Structure formats: C-alpha cells, structure tokens
Amino acid sequence: MRNRDERGSLAWIASDFRSLLPGASAGLMQLMYPPLGHAVMTHSAFMDDPFGRVYRSIPQIWSTILTPDGDTRAKQVRDLHKAIKGTDDSGARYHALDPDTFWWAHATFTWEMFRSVELFHRRQLDAAERGALYAETVEWYERYGVSMRPVPADIDSFDRRFAEICAHELERTPAAAYAIEIATNGRLGLPLIPPAVMRAIRPALANPGRAVAFGCMPSAVRTRMGIPWSRADRRTLALLKTTMRAGGSVVPAELNRRAMRFSLRQVGSRTRGERYQPAT
C-alpha cells in the first residue's frame, strides 16, 4: 500500500474520522444482501443489540489497514466467520466465507472509503487517484486470505458490479427492515456514551443520524427499499457536508488522526477486549 501520509491513500482516508460517516449506509447494504442478512439474524443478538455488531467489528476491520500487523489481524477477522453457516428459510445454504458474500461485505467498506471523500472532503480524487485507491482496497482484501474470484479488476469494473448488486440483488431482508426502522425513528446508539447521556442527546441526533444513514447510500437503493427521504433530510445532509468539508480544513490532520486512533482503541478494547490488541 502507499505511504499512509499520502493524500488519497487508503490509510490516509481510513484514519480520518470522516471515513466512518457512510458506515451506517454500508452496514445497511450489508444487511440487504440476503445471505449476510440471514446470517446476522441467526448468529448474533442483532434484534436485542443492533449496534453491537458494528462496534465490535469496526475497530477490528480498521486495524487491518492501520496497524503494522494488519495481515495477521485480517486472518483473525476471517477466522471469526468460519462457524457462521447454515440453511436459510428457503432451504438455500449459506456460509460467511462464501466468496461472493465475504466480498460484498468488503465491497461496502471499499465503497465507504470512496463515498466519504466524495461527500465530506473538499478536495476530490482524480481518476488516477481513484484507480490507485481501488488497487489498495484489493491489496487490503488479499490480506484476508479468501478467494479473489469475485474481486473486480479495476475501479470501473467495481463501480459497475456494485451498481448491479444494488439494482438487482439487494433485498429488504428482515434484518435490513429492522435497521431501517431504527434509523427512521432516530433510535441511534453510540459507543462509550453512558445510556443516560445517550437518552438525553438522542433527540438532537435523530435528524442528522437519519440523514447520514440514508443520504450516503446510493439513491437507487433508497428507492428500491422504499426508504423515506424528505426535502428536510436533503437539507440536513447538505449542511453536514458543508460542515465536514469546512471542518476538515480547520482541524489539524494530525489531531484528527490521533483522535480517530484513540477512539478505535477505546471501542475495540471495550467491545472485544479478550482478543483486542491496541493499535499503535
């Protein structure tokens, strides 16, 4: 991978807080992929703790980019999925390490990196930078040691395949429907925030949270899934875009990255402390 300080590199983008903002949309699109959505409902406490999966996973996944031992950490992430398999309600067999399923989860994170820059960074990537960034996301995927069969060869092929899946393969699975209902009603949860404090600030977070969760995703997905998207939501997202782009110019990059790494360490150690090794 390119130098982590090189603008537009995967490490540079992933260590910026703004890389997390399209994460709710990425998570929703994972749940809309039928094998993945069924596995989440069957093999996790998603209905009781809908945010737990996200906060347990993100520090582990981002560490495969940001730490020197990313290869080892990626293999550990892969191995966590070995036992996630079974038969869905239609009788079809599924496995979390099925190449298409595992790649789709990674594809949403790849999309998230590009989308965060597109929406929340003042300076956009040119064609060469987009191609170089995509090549890095393929190297990132190679770290997991799973089949490379579904991986598109270049950024244009990725864009086409991603759009095809969004248009034809995603469904409003029960897991996705529940997550959409949570976001629609503003029942958000944040890690490290005491429950009493979260209850107090949740009303203020509801509108921007909904705007980000639904506004970052492709409009074709919102339409297919019947997700509400109002003029007020569009205004809220536009304000957030302006604020984040301006903030990125004001907040020192090193402070942004230090805060991001500190947050990942804290969330990772508290949600999976039995195996989490803090990132340096």
Q: What pLDDT sits at residue 48?
A: 75
CA angle in degrees (0–180, nearest 5) for 130-135-139: 145
Least confident of 11-20, 25-34, 86-95, 154-163: 86-95
pTM: 0.90
Q: Which residues contact 27 (CB under 8 A, 6 or more apart)?
A: 54, 108, 179
Domain ranges of the chain: 10-271
Q: What pLDDT sits at residue 4?
A: 61
Q: 99 with 150: CB under 8 angstroms?
A: yes
* Average pLDDT for the chain: 89
Does pLDDT of 276 surpass 60? Answer: no
pLDDT digits (tens, 9 = 90+) for 168-199: 999 999 999 999 999 998 777 776 677 788 78
| Confidence tier at 3 by pLDDT (50, 70, 90) | low
Q: For the chain, first and last CA: distance in Å?
A: 18
pLDDT digits (tens, 9 = 90+) for 77-119: 999 899 899 887 778 888 989 999 999 999 999 999 999 999 9
